[in-house]
Amino acid sequence: MTNRYEKLKAKKELGKKLRARNSSFLRKKSNEKPKANWSDFKLKDDKLLLCTKGIVAKVIRDKIKVLVNNEIINCKLPIEMPKTLVSNLVIGDKVFINKENEVVSRSDRKTHLSRLRSEGATYSNKHIIAVNIDYAVIVATVAEPEFNAGLIDRYLILCQNGNIKPIICLNKIDLSDKRHPILKLYKEKLGIDVIEVSVKENIGFDKLREKIQHKTIVLVGNSGVGKSSITNKLLKSDDIKTQFVSEKGQQGKHTTTSSDLYILNKDTYIIDTPGVRSLSLIGIDKQDLQFYFDDFVEFKTSCEYRDCLHSTEPDCAVRRAVESGEISKLRYESYLRILESIS
């Protein structure tokens, strides 16, 4: 067992080295400079002390809007820094700005909400939509539209992939007393909080507010489940100190097209971008699904078939790892469930 593991590890290392060599070779060939990275611009502690901390609220071309002490400030990069670094900033990024309102450093990201760019895209060119999110509030409904477990499973994958904690918010409980049996599994087997609410009858919002206190959240879910209604409800609460609503300045009114970062109260933020909203349209390809399961990676290269989906294929290394306990059974069951839900 150890031997096989060691061998795989060595194989992975070799692959990494070859890829690194290839890319430096290609760069030399095209005279291209290595791409600038924020990790090259880490500041020493004494320099950081002279800067102000902020959160990226919006990036439009070379303009960066940063939230500093509940105020949005227009920032840019210092002239001497590579312009390409701007494209490496997304909503939620924690940055340091100097007295000239220039972004001089970016903190490492704790979590990320990403999607695959397009069909056939690989894990490495995923598109990051927002970062440093604590909770993804997956909004579902008891009815109108019908409860959609397959969609929740897909969001759970995105959460796992980006290290974000999911909460399921079951809305419109005024419409029915029936509950889908899978909710019990989410709660009891996966340990996910399920919070029942009704915007219409003002039920459950104390609990939801308490849960998201001092956190950065995104609301995701099918269209029509009530994401806007819930956001509005949360924003209209008495404890709103400030809020940021797009440049159009529609104070207090939640609009889906241009708003980005809302402040509920100190340290509690709602991120809402068209990117996050359209996530419900994500189509994960059967073959791509396994890329979302980091814990499968080291095993799947030993499967008999190169295009193994790790379900019924013979001599599947992933299934063997599940049997030996190296991959969690729950994770594998979740994988199979999603695989089945993808047509």
User: What residue ranges bind ligand GDP (CB under 6 A)?
Assistant: 171-172, 174-175, 198-200, 223-229
CB nearer to Zn ion: give 55 or 284: 284
Residue with tokens 């897909």: 154
CB nearer to Zn ion: give 139 or 318: 318
Cα separation values, 188 from 27, 90, 103, 178, 225, Å: 51, 34, 44, 18, 24
CB nearer to Zn ion: give 135 or 299: 299
Of 318, 322, 327, 338, the one binding Zn ion (CB under 5 A) is: 318
Return the closest-CA partner of residue 162 out of 139, 187, 133, 121. Answer: 133
> Are 54 and 66 spatial neighbours (Cβ–Cβ below 8 Å)?
yes
Binding mask 289-308 for Zn ion (x = CB under 5 A): --------------x----x
E strands in the chain:
52-60, 63-68, 71-75, 94-97, 103-106, 112-116, 126-131, 135-141, 165-171, 193-196, 216-220, 261-265, 268-271
Question: Residue 136 interacts with Zn ion (CB under 5 A)?
Answer: no
Q: What is the identity of the amino acid at 335? A: Y
Q: What are phi and psi of 193, to 5 degrees?
A: -70, 130
State the binding partner of 57 from Zn ion, ligand GDP, none, CB within 5 to 8 A by kind. Answer: none
> Least CB distance from residue 340 to Zn ion, whole Å?
16
Question: Residue 245 interacts with Zn ion (CB under 5 A)?
Answer: no
Total residues found in the chain within this entry: 343
CA angle 185, 126, 96 (to 5 degrees): 100
> Least CB distance from residue 263 to ligand GDP, whole Å?
20
Q: Tokens at residue 292, please?
A: 């979302």
State the binding partner of 174 from Zn ion, ligand GDP, none, CB within 5 to 8 A by kind. Answer: ligand GDP
> Least CB distance from residue 157 to ligand GDP, whole Å?
20
Of 58, 77, 310, 322, the one binding Zn ion (CB under 5 A) is: 310
> Least CB distance from residue 27 to Zn ion, whole Å?
35
All residues at 6 or more sequence positions from 111 whose CB lies less than 8 Å from its CB, including other chains? 131, 132, 133, 134, 162, 163, 164
> Least CB distance from residue 227 to ligand GDP, whole Å?
3
CB nearer to Zn ion: give 219 or 318: 318
> Least CB distance from residue 200 to ligand GDP, whole Å?
4
State the binding partner of 316 from ligand GDP, Zn ion, none, CB within 5 to 8 A by kind. Answer: Zn ion
Residue with tokens 């440093």: 132
Residue with tokens 């399961």: 293
Q: Tokens at residue 233, please?
A: 């409800």
CB nearer to ligand GDP: give 168 or 199: 199
> Least CB distance from residue 91 to ligand GDP, whole Å?
18
State the binding partner of 303 from ligand GDP, Zn ion, none, CB within 5 to 8 A by kind. Answer: Zn ion
State the binding partner of 111 from Zn ion, ligand GDP, none, CB within 5 to 8 A by kind. Answer: none
Q: Is 101 exposed, middle or buried (0-12, 13-18, 19+ CB in 10 A)?
A: middle
Question: Residue 169 interacts with Zn ion (CB under 5 A)?
Answer: no
CB nearer to ligand GDP: give 146 or 304: 146
Under rule CB under 5 A, how many of the chain's residues touch Zn ion?
A: 5
Return the closest-CA partner of residue 153 out of 53, 267, 289, 27. Answer: 289
Instruction: List residues near Zn ion by CB under 5 A.
Output: 303, 308, 310, 316, 318
